[in-house]
Structure 1
Amino acid sequence: MTKINIIKDFLVFLFVYLPPLIIFIRFSRERKRSYLLLTIISILYIVTSLFTQNLIPFIFVLINIRYLKTAEKICYNSTRNEYTSPCELNISTKPTISSRLLEDYNRFKFSIRNLNLLSAIKYTIQSYLITILISAISSGIFYRLNVNAKQQEIVTWMSSMPLKRFLIMIPIVTIFAPILEEFVFRWLLFEKIFRPRIGIYLSAILSSIIFAFIHFNLMALPILIWIGLYNCYLINKKGYWYSVFNHFAFNFITTMVLLAQKLGAARF
């Protein structure tokens, strides 16, 4: 493994895989889970994430969404060094992650029941039409500038893998990745970290650039920035699962094209 690949893997782990674990630990501490247990879970999380792609972080995202649903007004009493619920009126008491995220489950519609499928399809079609336009324009610019832009590594990797392994990768790419990445880039980075500090527009741009950059592909960069911006709009106006569905549709179409090519090649 080259140094560049090591750096890429580190950045992916830092920006994508690590946040669900950190949020899980903070929620768990409020529920008085032991440090030993959380240390063991953290070690297992880190080790297994290196070999299971998005699977383990995806599971932890679902757990964190469950924590958001059951969040209550818990506070930390620094004098007693303990968490209390309900919060006590004490000058040494400060809000916890549960208190700060108390309304997020409903605000961002984390219940999948809030997803209107027909409406989600409409937004996705609009997004994909613009994606096609951006792809055509960026391809023309790259050609004019004589830039040899390669496909994403994941696309090249999946194109060359055996069919059985490819089929295993389909849920990882089309389901696990959208749920994980929308949780990290749209809810956490865009809504919770950047937006309160730099406003909605700059936070949408910054989080989308980071989202595009972490895929490490020049050819896909304009498209990924667009998807990031559009999904910022969706999570803010419609809810989390709308942005997940748009991300899912993009990954699903790309994966099905690869599958069709692979099945076509197998016939000859």
Structure 2
Amino acid sequence: VKVQTWVDGIEDAEFVGVGARFGTTIVSKEKNANQRRLILSDPRDCCSAPKNKLANDVIMVDRGHCKFTTKANYAQAAHASAILIINNQKELYKMVCEPDETDLDIHIPAVMLPQDAGTSLEKMLISNSSVSVQLYSPTRPLVDIAEVFLWLMAVGTILCASYWSAWSAREAAIEQDKLLKDALDEIPDTRPVGSGGIVDINTTSAILFVVVASCFLVMLYKLMSYWFVELLVVLFCIGGVEGLQTCSVALLSRYFIFLS
């Protein structure tokens, strides 16, 4: 579920949450979603009737001290149009009902947001700004275009690498046959066919690679933040430029050799 915010009529940050298994279904298209004023619940946990006067507004509450359905029922009784439940952790949690739950006559949507999103929304409200939110849940496509594109890239890379390897081996074999037919006394290039693609790795190098890769994965898990993602993008760009340069130099060198 996406939660788009407006502060004093100006579009602001967008947050991603998880919808509850109870309540009404959230609209799937942004153009069909209505903007509603956001109100901070009093009491914060909404485990009792809110003291706020709500007029089809969205109420924001804290998680804890009572069941999700209890919070939603109190919010609905106070004439709220939706309820945003702020988690006490940065992760999201599925809001489900207990097997023996009976009070499920809930007709407003319920959405859980992570703790950092709740902190940002609370700062907006404390600054005496008029905050509005818009809730919508985009429909997931059956086939993700990004996954198809990545699959095509992987298959294309493997096919190109196989073709390149076979082509290089074939040209080297043809060149060696020409040299043998000419019966030359000394062969200028005595390297075995395909030896350029062989890399010798000893035990120390293999262990060092595993350690470095493991440390990088731990850093990726622990330090996943905006600046770390930007750093990864820069590193991948540098690697892509280096790979493109290597391929371009090899192709241009081969092309100019044929012209000469």
TM-score range, shorter chain: under 0.3
Q: TM-score, normalised by structure 1?
A: 0.23
Larger radius of gyration: 2
Q: TM-score, normalised by structure 2?
A: 0.24
Q: Which has the higher helix share?
A: 1
